[in-house]
Structure 1
Amino acid sequence: MPVTGPRCRLCLPEKMRSLLFSLVLCCFSAAYSQLPPTKPCLTRGVVYSGGKPVAQATITLLSLPDSLPLQTQASASNGSFLFSNLCNGKLLRISATGFANQLVPAPADTTLVIVNLVPVTKELNAVTVNAERRAVQSYPDRTVIRVDNTPSHAASNALDILERSPGVSIDRDGQISMQGKQGTLLLIDGKKVYVNAQEAANLLRSISAQQIDHIELVPQPSAKYDASGTAGLIHIHTKSGRNTGWSGNSSLVLSAGKYARASMNSTVFYQQQKIAAAISYATGYTRNSYEIFIYRLYRTADNKIATLHNQYTFNPVTQVPHAIRTNVDYRISPVKTISLQATAYFSELTDGGKTSTHIAEPLRGKSLGSTDFSNRISRANYSGGISYRQQLNKKGDEFSMDADYSYFNRSNTQTNHNYLFDSVNSPVGSPYLLRGDNPSRIDVYSAKFDLVKTDNHQFKWETGGKMSYVNTSNRSDYERYTGTTWEQDARSNHFNYTEKIMAAYLSVKKAAGNWNITAGARLEHTVADGVQLQNNQSFSKRYTNLFPSVSIAKKLDNNQTLLFSYNRRIDRPNYQDLNPFQFILNQFTFQQGNPLLSPQFTQAVEAGWSKRNFSAKYYYSQITDLISDNIYQDTVLKLSFQQKDNVAIKSIHGISMNLSTRVWQKLSLSFYTHVFYNRMQGTIDQETFRVEAVSGSANVTAQIQLPKSWSVDLATTYQHRNYLSALLYDKGSANVTVGVGKQLFSNTWNLRLIVRDPFLWQRVYYTSYYKGVDFSIKQLTDSRQISISISYRFGKDTNRSAARKSSAAEEQVRAGATGS
């Protein structure tokens, strides 16, 4: 019987889906027609030295207080420069070869800025070093990772960098946690990533360090962002050209461990008056292996040993990905810009291995199970979007609208052949032969608008709305060999799922003296429908939720700030986690989805203090309807399977500290640690449970600047043992990375040598004790590697981060379809 709820009058019928964007754009047009006429935002100036103009000086417009670059250009032959369509720039940074860098406040009006550069003397060398941005910058409300400032990042990808970031941990399935909480809202250049944890990890592996400018970790996002992500927001900003004319960069990374690997990426930027464009291509060859040790001990009711399973799997994996990203910005006028974005991702992944299972039973003796398996996964993903921005005045008021479409296609063919032998290696029974084809497709449509206005009382108001529609289709076609023919297996199924989310938000900011207050709320209405066509089972869910948020900052003096924040957030189940199909590892082990999953909700409070380069924070979170990854055992059939369920209430109390300092002129240190108390209590299989642990992590990064453009850095990460879920206990891990860098040929070439995990401390080791079954899993990968990175850049100063936004920022984290 289908489970249904009251129909939502706000939801569009299926036949009206094709009209979604037309209606939204009509609303946008109506809103736009009401906007007041605007005046251009201009920042103009001239660069001199000794009374003579300086040509080709690099002028960067920065925001405050974070000093993030908004736009950069080179001065003309007469030394002049002009920034338009940027009303929130607060600071100008001017640099030129042979001159000392200067920071000049940007005027609030169109007053001409006159800059007089001073030729460099030997005494100014130390100033240049001190002005360099640190690799990790801590702010009261977020942490910023500067990727280019760490040589050991050169041979890494986005997932590797996150794994070594303060307060971040990643489990074996690619699930990202921040401050002990799973579930993050992942943005790439403002675009939400609509994939599940495993596929998000695959996507992040396809983004090389050379493509990234910086990464923001925000534990308490404002109401402007989607309410998803109980752990907060991770925003990856890629590089974009900021110099007039052509510029770009290219890199090649060669790595060796047990297997050889290679990756290559190239990016070309073009900027000229009204047009700015970028295109990048990345590819590679990855060879890895997974060794998985699974131990299961089944006990009788009187605690005697009934059966022992000792399982070993060796799984070599090969993948060849291709990723293309492009972006074009066209400035219609000094205050109006339209942008087009498109991405394409393709990959082929193949694996094939063998599982050996030693089975011991006191009454039947010993036996051996053997499984030969193979998988071939092909992915083809596309996304495109259009956005419009208009600056309304010099106060920073802005209107914007976005529309996006994403398509994810994944095919997976697999074979699974199982054999059973007795203690003398004679076959027992007939082989268990299975083959399957599991294609899936996800379509995501989204559109949103945002309006920022500052009233006469200096209250800054932000409001907007968003609509998204997701359609997923998943098939599972399994066949089992009966001895003479292949027949359809009972596991075969077809699952369709649709989801509509309509959201609106309102936020207000006010700065009064040393106080800075932000308060807002986001309202989201969700309509979800799923149906299994094979057995005609269906479900229907309707729910509306309000997500308030507040942030209060008090500036004690020029160096000290107090911060308090509160918000409520949601984590909806990933689309693939709702899929009821089974993914089979062998005859005794499989993974399956759960269509009955409900969202989990989080309320979080933070209170912090920062002084210069040091910050400390207390945080508390309570998660209800916790989505937990559980390992279940069938003691009769001796099966183990993994499934997500809503099982518990989770509470976290934690303290974190972050320090970035320059020990002496050439040595910089960044230290982060957090300690937290984690408690979960709830019900699994009609039995109550309670688990608790004190855990934490530590990150230390040391950077040394040596003469003649040499640099060395050391990064260490430690994750203490903790309950990963209600039934899985993580034994903890550590990692060490060392990098040496050298800049060549006027800093246009960069050569780096990186050694990762030389002591093989990066491992996965989980245990579980539940209902008479002792379970443990250990996973080893080819993590010890040595890499050589060679990068080249042309043009001048090609390091501006892209600042594009999108309407499709949450749904891509839940779709489940990007690379490996």
Structure 2
Amino acid sequence: MTTPQLLNSQEKQKESSISGGHITGKIIDAKSGEALEYASVALKKSAPVKGTLTNVTGLFVINQIPEGDYTLSVEFMGYNKKEFVLSIKGNIDLGTIPLEPSSKILGAATVEGVKSAKNINIEKSRINFDRTAGSATGNILNVLKSQPSVTVDNENNIYIRGNKNILLLIDGRPTTHTSLESIPTGNISHIEIITSPDAKYDSEGSGGIINIVSKTKLFEGKSLLARYSTDIHYCYNGGVDVSLNNGLWTFDMGINSKYDHEQTESNIIRELHSTGQKTWQNIISDKRTNLHSAYSTISYSRGKNQAGITLNGMIPNFHLEQDISGRETETGPETYSRHNSIWFNRKSFSGAGFYKRIFSPGKKELSFDISYSKTKGSRPANYTIDGVYSQRSWGGGSPNIFSFQSDYIKVTDSKIKVESGVKYTKRWNTFEYDFFKLDIPSNEWIKDISLSNDLTHKEQIFALYESFSGKLSDGFAFKAGLRAEYSTSLFRQYSTNDQSESSRLSLFPSVTFRYSLAEKNSLSLAYNRRVTRPAYPQLNPFVNIIDQVTSESGNKNLRQELTDKIEAAHEFSQGKITLNSSIYYSHTRDYIAQTTQITSDGKLMLSYTNIPSYNKV
């Protein structure tokens, strides 16, 4: 009689003899102890046999190796090469492999500190999500609020160095999510705050880029992870992740749910200098968030070929209750009151696929990426003015983003890394908004044409780029590139049959230098150009009522703004201690500024206009 345990053991031995052994290990910087991502690991006999690249935590695995003698070569730009002679008769774990830096090459890799929650250089700051205190709440905003370069205001607008024109990416791809609150956090590996993007990145976001990077799986086997977290502010977050990996195929899937209850109170004092009129306003808000999401990823990796597909679905729902009251004197009676009850009901879907061909690990590769993201939502709202339910509205839209990108990387014989690529992006959105007022004598809801509108906004961007990076001498590294974008825009309002179109060719240079003064000090200098294209709410000329004394209207004649930014930084590093200091200057042409005008009835009208230039230090 054969026991189930013996059968299981025999099956494993048979599988091992068929698939061969595997080699695992972890590559780190010998001085800082930080993991090295994208380090090249190649297995050779008289010729290359197999190869791979390390992941974000420096880990690598080479599977299905026949028995025999091999040479394992580990290389990473800017570090001394290391080789091992191995005899494969089964599985080998090489443990931690430290590489000695020969000089620091800027932009060649992104590193993750094993013991640090944050890594900083002149191009970007990297926040390791699981190691931050705010990650327990499942709210990305709580994590970003703790970063010195990031500010989050009362309306959850995000500013990088005082600029809220930021580009949001998920795994380097554009998304229709406009709010970080609606993004599930269970599968987040780290967040990149990119303040000096190079030519490979999209040119949008004069304030910078926030890139949310998902976790990746490496080792063979099965795993199940269940998580739950809460805090004292009525926030609950939980989910389940499943991973299967047989060495060639990897399948990941997960679900996540979140409930958050947030209550805030704010006070605003407005003073019109032209008339001397003052208004004291009090706002009490009660916001409840319900978020449900699911994802699945299938990836394939064998030899020099990698491919994968990722699907994400999300249902974020928000309910906001607001009580707004105003007084004409600080201690006087209320002159008006308003209660807003607003629902944000959304359904989001995104999908992405990629293929990468690694001709020579760490030296030559070609990749293709395609992605699509769509959010369909509605925004019903009820408004009670001075105790009378007299206004209501309904809005709905469906933003879409499609992109295709191809990138080619080659390291020349002179150790210069050349990156080239093309990208096509298309965005389109159809938006409807109906506003109704109650006719009290007839008790009928009448549509207010002046506050209702429907529109379509379409945009296409054709881009190509090329960049070079390497070292000019010992201790002196550089990265320089140029990106060209041709963009077209169409804005159409159906209610007025008004249409405007524009097209523009723009160039976006970027250059970064890094000089190592000594073993512990380095200086960096970076320059880049960014663009902020007006969003459709800024273009829409119809009036949107914010409160009893404030309204907002867009400007369909807005032009894009161009920002040139230069930054200098110093880094001191000794052991586990790293000190960073920087100074930057930016010059913006056709800066999109918010304007305030007083209407004939003494209320405020907010709008937008271009001003010739804006400088910031």
SS in 1 for 2:538: helix
Q: Is the CA contact (8 Å cut-off) linking 1:223 and 1:548 kept in structure 2?
A: yes
1:360, distance to aligned residue in structure 2 (A): 6.3
Name which of 162, 168, 181 aligns with 1:202.
Answer: 181
SS in 2 for 1:182: coil
1:315–1:641 distance in 2 versus 1, CA, 3 Å: farther
SS in 1 for 2:137: coil
Aligned pairs, number:
544
CA deviations on 1:204-239 (whole Å, 9 max, x unpaired) are xx433x533222222111101111121223222232
Q: Is the CA contact (8 Å cut-off) linking 1:418 and 1:586 kept in structure 2?
A: no
SS in 2 for 1:154: helix
Find the counterpart in structure 2 of residue 588 from structure 1.
Answer: 549
CA distance, structure 1, for counterparts of residue 515 and residue 597 of structure 2: 49
Whether 1:617 aligns to 2:582 is yes
CA distance, structure 1, for counterparts of residue 498 and residue 379 of structure 2: 24
Q: Is the CA contact (8 Å cut-off) linking 1:61 and 1:72 kept in structure 2?
A: no
Q: Which amino acid aligns with 2:340?
A: F
1:56, distance to aligned residue in structure 2 (A): 11
1:604, distance to aligned residue in structure 2 (A): 0.9
1:601, distance to aligned residue in structure 2 (A): 1.2
Gaps of 5+ in 1: 1-54, 74-81, 95-103, 119-130, 421-430, 654-820
Gaps of 5+ in 2: 1-20, 42-48, 62-71, 76-80, 96-112
1:356, distance to aligned residue in structure 2 (A): 2.6
CA distance, structure 2, for counterparts of residue 89 and residue 159 of structure 1: 23
CA RMSD of aligned residues (A): 3.4
Relative to the length of structure 1, the TM-score reads 0.61
Find the counterpart in structure 2 of residue 782 from structure 1.
Answer: none
CA distance, structure 1, for counterparts of residue 230 and residue 469 of structure 2: 48
Name which of 198, 218, 229 aligns with 1:222.
Answer: 198
Whether 1:289 aligns to 2:256 is no
Whether 1:638 aligns to 2:602 is yes
Name which of 400, 410, 425 aligns with 2:367.
Answer: 400
Find the counterpart in structure 2 of residue 330 from structure 1.
Answer: 300
1:86, distance to aligned residue in structure 2 (A): 2.4
Q: Is the CA contact (8 Å cut-off) linking 2:52 and 2:361 kept in structure 1?
A: no
Larger mean Cα displacement after TM superposition, 460-469 or 625-634:
625-634
**Paired residues for 1:169-208 under 5 Å:** 169-195=151-177, 199-203=178-182, 206-208=183-185
Find the counterpart in structure 2 of residue 416 from structure 1.
Answer: 383
1:607–1:368 distance in 2 versus 1, CA, 3 Å: closer
Higher relative contact order (CA 8 A, sep 6+): 1
**Paired residues for 1:334-345 under 5 Å:** 334-345=303-314
Kindly, what percent of the aligned residue pairs are identical? 22
CA distance, structure 2, for counterparts of residue 92 and residue 374 of structure 1: 50
1:631–1:59 distance in 2 versus 1, CA, 3 Å: farther
Q: Which amino acid aligns with 2:382?
A: T
Name which of 373, 386, 392 aligns with 2:340.
Answer: 373
Q: Which amino acid aligns with 1:646?
A: N
Q: Which amino acid aligns with 1:537?
A: D
Find the counterpart in structure 1 of residue 395 from structure 2.
Answer: 438
1:531, distance to aligned residue in structure 2 (A): 1.1
**Paired residues for 1:146-545 under 5 Å:** 146-151=128-133, 153-195=135-177, 199-203=178-182, 206-208=183-185, 211-257=187-233, 260-298=234-272, 305=276, 307-331=277-301, 333-359=302-328, 368-419=335-386, 433-483=390-440, 484=442, 485-489=444-448, 490-514=450-474, 515-545=476-506
Q: Is the CA contact (8 Å cut-off) linking 1:92 and 1:105 kept in structure 2?
A: no
Name which of 503, 506, 517 aligns with 1:556.
Answer: 517
Relative to the length of structure 2, the TM-score reads 0.80
Q: Is the CA contact (8 Å cut-off) linking 2:488 and 2:502 kept in structure 1?
A: yes
CA distance, structure 2, for counterparts of residue 639 and residue 505 of structure 1: 48
CA distance, structure 2, for counterparts of residue 58 and residue 394 of structure 1: 16
CA distance, structure 2, for counterparts of residue 551 and residue 214 of structure 1: 24
**Paired residues for 1:94-109 under 5 Å:** 106=74
Q: Is the CA contact (8 Å cut-off) linking 1:63 and 1:90 kept in structure 2?
A: no
**Paired residues for 1:763-802 under 5 Å:** none
1:415–1:469 distance in 2 versus 1, CA, 3 Å: same
CA distance, structure 2, for counterparts of residue 309 and residue 109 of structure 1: 70
CA deviations on 1:517-561 (whole Å, 9 max, x unpaired) are 211100001100111111122211111100011112223333332
SS in 1 for 2:451: coil
1:593–1:276 distance in 2 versus 1, CA, 3 Å: farther
CA deviations on 1:598-625 (whole Å, 9 max, x unpaired) are 2221111122222312233222111222
1:583–1:470 distance in 2 versus 1, CA, 3 Å: same
SS in 1 for 2:215: strand
1:513–1:88 distance in 2 versus 1, CA, 3 Å: farther
Find the counterpart in structure 1 of residue 616 from structure 2.
Answer: 652
Q: Which amino acid aligns with 1:456?
A: D
CA distance, structure 2, for counterparts of residue 474 and residue 219 of structure 1: 32
1:432–1:624 distance in 2 versus 1, CA, 3 Å: farther
Larger mean Cα displacement after TM superposition, 411-420 or 378-387:
411-420
Q: Is the CA contact (8 Å cut-off) linking 1:72 and 1:242 kept in structure 2?
A: no
Name which of 562, 571, 578 aligns with 2:539.
Answer: 578
